[in-house]
């Protein structure tokens, strides 16, 4: 079999962990498989590099920041390659340039366009393990880009698709995908299998166990994807296109704290206002999530929406720059919010889920600021300070703790 194994930051955090990964990779290789490894930077490294840049300037150039961040993955890849050699397994580390990972240009949030796998395939044909840096790409100018935080999962799935791998294993610090973040909700349960659509929703709504674009790619290219622990042999969670079972009404709960709420108050109550606002943001490639428009009162109305925290400054600048066109009385923004979501493919055919969710939140004494729904999810906006408490309350409502 051809297997792509991805190891996250905590799995390669220190020399012992790297040697542990080398033993796992060596075992897969000795079992007769071809193995390509994708690595994250050692745990904490990416944050440290960002902090270093911020010591120099509060607004580092995104190009230079990518140049800096990409070194984290280069370190871990070289170290693992050395550890594999010490295990008697020949290996070669490749950065994004060497591995032919071609991306779009947007620094800090580039997307993989294609992977020229020639070099990686040559190494694999020679019987070597290839160790590829995750999280990075090369744009058409030859500059290094990064794929967004958590992006190594996407590098791994993209490589698996490009190589036509039989399996892509994401090794992390929990032993699979749970019904909620197991670090926050003690009673969260491990799922043996989860549908790709539900996994994509959970990942997009803040369950950072998988980078959302990795799930999208796995779905599109039919990559067999498994999430499991680098520290145990527990079987992990299989992400499947079709689960084959009756869809669970609710498969999980997720929280996203990396969002900001922005409100425009006193907009003209006339057609075209929402169009103007959101097309300006779309042009800047800013994704908007939960949107609430008040019913117009006399001549004015208000619009409130959320964006990723990283996009908040740019959003506010666009709104300020277009003050005349948009014609609002006042803008406000709030960083201290969180989005709590319940996801499940069976929700569409089971009314009542929203009422149960709201009741659990009410019982926890938490106030709901905004609500949005789709076929397979319900999200509420709450204060970030209430997020953990509300997540536990909602989770335990749908997955009552045993005993």
CA atoms within 13 A on the CB side of 150: 13
- Where in 8-27 is the site for Mg ion (CB under 5 A)? 8
What character string, x for contact with ligand ADP (CB under 6 A) and - otherwise, covers 267-306?
A: ----------------------------------------
Using an 8 Å Cβ cutoff, are 375 and 347 in contact? yes
Taking the least distance from each CB to ligand ASP, the nearer of 8 and 252 is 8
Q: CA 7 to CA 157: how far, in whole Å?
A: 12
Q: CA 128 to CA 90: how far, in whole Å?
A: 5
Taking the least distance from each CB to ligand ASP, the nearer of 10 and 251 is 10
What character string, x for contact with ligand ADP (CB under 6 A) and - otherwise, covers 20-49?
A: --------------------x---------
Q: CA 102 to CA 69: how far, in whole Å?
A: 17
Taking the least distance from each CB to ligand ASP, the nearer of 5 and 40 is 40
Helices first, then strands: H and E counts in the chain: 13, 18
Inter-CA distances, 165 with 57, 157, 169, Å: 42, 9, 11
Q: CA 390 to CA 367: how far, in whole Å?
A: 10
Phi-psi category of 324—alpha, beta or left, where left has phi over 0 and alpha has psi -120 to 50? Answer: alpha
Site membership for Mg ion, residue 100 (CB under 5 A) = no
Phi-psi category of 125—alpha, beta or left, where left has phi over 0 and alpha has psi -120 to 50? Answer: alpha
Instruction: Compute the least distance from the CB of residue 183 to ligand ASP, in Å.
Output: 17
Site membership for ligand ADP, residue 189 (CB under 6 A) = no
Site membership for ligand ADP, residue 181 (CB under 6 A) = yes
Taking the least distance from each CB to ligand ASP, the nearer of 172 and 306 is 172
What residue spans of 37-139 are helical by DSSP H?
45-56, 62-86, 96-99, 118-125
Residues near ligand ASP (CB under 6 A) are: 8-9, 40-41, 46, 72, 134-135, 149-152
SS3 141: coil
Which of ligand ADP, Mg ion, ligand ASP, none has residue 135 at its interface (CB below 5 to 8 Å by kind)? Answer: ligand ASP
Tokens of residue 333, six digits: 């923004």
Instruction: Select from 148, 150, 151, 236 the one that contacts ligand ADP (CB under 6 A).
Output: 150
Instruction: Compute the least distance from the CB of residue 180 to ligand ADP, in Å.
Output: 6
Using an 8 Å Cβ cutoff, are 96 and 144 in contact? yes
Site membership for Mg ion, residue 150 (CB under 5 A) = yes
**Of the listed pieces 149-157, 294-302, 320-328, 333-341, which binds Mg ion according to CB under 5 A?**
149-157
Which of ligand ASP, Mg ion, ligand ADP, none has residue 149 at its interface (CB below 5 to 8 Å by kind)? Answer: ligand ASP
Burial class (CB in 10 A: 0-12, 13-18, 19+), 295: exposed
**Of the listed pieces 5-13, 154-162, 217-225, 301-309, which binds ligand ADP according to CB under 6 A?**
5-13
CA atoms within 13 A on the CB side of 32: 1
Instruction: Compute the least distance from the CB of residue 42 to ligand ASP, in Å.
Output: 9
Instruction: Select from 173, 310, 314, 356 the one that contacts ligand ADP (CB under 6 A).
Output: 173
CA geometry: angle at 261 spanning 325 and 293, to 5°? 60
Q: Which of 394, 402, 401, 403 is nearest to 250 (CA)?
A: 394
Taking the least distance from each CB to Mg ion, the nearer of 202 and 345 is 202
Which of ligand ADP, ligand ASP, Mg ion, none has residue 113 at its interface (CB below 5 to 8 Å by kind)? Answer: none
Taking the least distance from each CB to ligand ASP, the nearer of 17 and 301 is 17
Site membership for ligand ADP, residue 182 (CB under 6 A) = yes
Which of ligand ADP, ligand ASP, Mg ion, none has residue 207 at its interface (CB below 5 to 8 Å by kind)? Answer: ligand ADP
Which parts of this chain interact with Mg ion (CB under 5 A)? 8, 150
Which parts of this chain interact with ligand ADP (CB under 6 A)? 8-11, 40, 150, 172-174, 177-178, 180-183, 207-209, 252
């Amino acid at each position: 079999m051809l297997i792509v194994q991805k190891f996250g930051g905590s799995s390669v955090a220190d020399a012992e962990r790297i040697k542990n990964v080398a033993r796992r990779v060596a075992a897969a290789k000795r079992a007769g498989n071809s193995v390509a490894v994708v690595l994250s930077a050692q745990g904490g490294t990416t944050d440290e590099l960002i902090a270093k840049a911020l010591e120099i300037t509060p607004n580092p150039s995104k190009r230079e920041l990518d140049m800096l961040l990409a070194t984290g993955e280069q370190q871990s890849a070289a170290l693992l390659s050395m550890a594999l050699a010490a295990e008697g397994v020949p290996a070669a580390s490749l950065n994004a340039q060497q591995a032919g990972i071609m991306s779009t240009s947007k620094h800090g949030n580039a997307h993989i366009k294609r992977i020229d796998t020639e070099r990686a395939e040559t190494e694999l044909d020679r019987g070597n393990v290839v160790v590829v840096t995750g999280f990075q790409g090369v744009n058409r100018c030859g500059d290094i880009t990064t794929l967004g935080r958590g992006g190594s999962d996407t590098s791994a799935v993209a490589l698996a698709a490009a190589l036509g791998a039989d399996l892509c294993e994401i090794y992390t610090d929990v032993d699979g995908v749970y019904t909620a973040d197991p670090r926050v909700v003690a009673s969260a349960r491990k799922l043996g299998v989860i549908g790709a659509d539900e996994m994509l929703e959970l990942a997009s709504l803040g369950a950072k166990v998988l980078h959302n674009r990795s799930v999208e790619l796995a779905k599109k290219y039919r990559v067999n994807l498994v999430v499991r622990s680098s520290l145990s042999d527990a079987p992990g969670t299989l992400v499947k296109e079709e689960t084959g079972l009756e869809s669970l009404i609710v498969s999980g709960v997720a929280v996203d704290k990396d969002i900001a709420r922005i409100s425009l108050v006193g907009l003209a109550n006339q057609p075209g206002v929402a169009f103007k606002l959101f097309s300006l943001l779309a042009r800047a490639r800013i994704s908007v999530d939960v949107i609430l428009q008040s019913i117009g009162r006399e001549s004015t109305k208000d619009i409130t929406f959320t964006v990723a925290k990283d996009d908040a400054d740019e959003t506010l600048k666009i709104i300020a720059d277009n003050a005349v066109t948009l014609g609002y009385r006042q803008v406000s923004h709030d960083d201290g919010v969180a989005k709590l979501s319940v996801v499940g493919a069976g929700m569409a055919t089971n009314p009542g889920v929203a009422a149960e969710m709201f009741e659990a939140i009410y019982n926890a004494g938490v106030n709901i600021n905004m609500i949005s729904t789709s076929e397979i999810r319900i999200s509420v906006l709450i204060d970030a300070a209430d997020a953990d408490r509300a997540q536990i309350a909602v989770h335990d409502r749908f997955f009552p703790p045993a005993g």
